[in-house]
Amino acid sequence: MSPTSNVPTKAPAVVMPNPPIHRVLSGQKALVTGANSGIGRSVALALGKAGADVVVNYVAGDEAAEAVVSEIRSGGAKAYAHKADVSNESQVVAMFQKMIAEFGTIDILVNNAGLQRDAPIEQMTLDQWNTVIGINLTGQFLCAREAVREFKRRGVVEAVSCAAGKIICMSSVHEIIPWAGHVNYAASKGGIMMMMKSIAQEVARFRIRVNSIDPGAIRTPINTKVWSSPEAYEKLMTLVPYNRIGEPEDIGRAAVWLASDAADYVTGTSLVIDGGMTLYPGFATGG
């Protein structure tokens, strides 16, 4: 018997659990960018369930945004939709001004909006490069800057949170794993990692916490082709030791925790949520 023959090569496929979300964010005001689809939608709904009032940012898809707003309101929290392109400075500034006028302040920013424009390097246009960097990275900078300005102006309100503010940057396992054919996307996520850590270092003394979530493969419209057919799903599972795709709710629950005072000592960190994708599964049976 070889030393590794009793090591299972795969976890059994499992159904995602759905534990309840407790109201740990009552009284807090949150802005989630790109919140009318996929991960952003799930994060906005989870923050609402946890008691936060939520601004649902989006750039296209009015109906989908209003549906998220209605679902949050049905749970008792306040919400409204705000259409703005996160890569546009004046639209971002106006979005924060409106939020402060409507909700009084901001406690939680989830920098989630993002997209892919894939091409082999020799065919990638400058427009494809600039679009991805502009939305995925510059968009996160613009929103983080406005949030920090408000967090520092207001400071800690102990009845609301021990921190003066929380920023969660939606990064990706591709801040760690290089990704051929997606150099613009991987560069944007690697950039988010150092942006997040540098802002965290700069603002920790104001009790502002800044962290990232690094999702692996999550079932959303951004990556339909890797999960929509049984063949594609099976191929994807060769990269995922936990043997199921991630669901947007997996990220929503983590965002609630990271934004809550339960994570008060957590800043400058990347929380990888990937079913083991970054564990080098090719080495699971000895390499």
Q: Which residues are catalytic?
A: 185
State the minimum distance, in angstroms, from the CB of residue 143 to ligand NAD. 9
Q: Which single residue is written with the structure tokens 């601004």?
A: 55
Q: How far is CA 265 from the centre of its chain?
A: 20
- Closer of 164 and 237 to ligand NAD (Cβ): 237
Decide if 244 contacts 35 (C-beta within 8 A): no
Near ligand NAD by CB under 6 A: residue from 21, 30, 32, 37: 37
Interaction of residue 222 with ligand NAD, rule CB under 6 A: yes
Cβ proximity to ligand NAD: between 94 and 222 the closer is 222
Among 32, 39, 95, 196, binds ligand NAD (CB under 6 A): 39
Q: Which of residues 159-188 bind ligand NAD (CB under 6 A)?
A: 170, 172
Residue type, 240: V
Structure tokens at 51: 């008691």
- In the complex, the smallest distance separating the C-beta of residue 131 from ligand NAD, rounded to whole angstroms, is 9
- How many contiguous H segments (helices) and E segments (strands) does the chain have? 8, 7
Q: How many other CB atoms are there within 10 angstroms of residue 5's CB atom?
A: 7
- Does 28 interact with ligand NAD (rule: CB under 6 A)? no
Nearer to ligand NAD, 52 or 240 (CB): 240
Cβ count near 25 (within 10 Å) = 29
DSSP state letters, 176-201 = TS--TT-HHHHHHHHHHHHHHHHHHH
Interface residues with ligand NAD (CB under 6 A) are 33-34, 36-40, 57-60, 85-87, 112-115, 135, 170, 172, 215, 217-218, 220-223
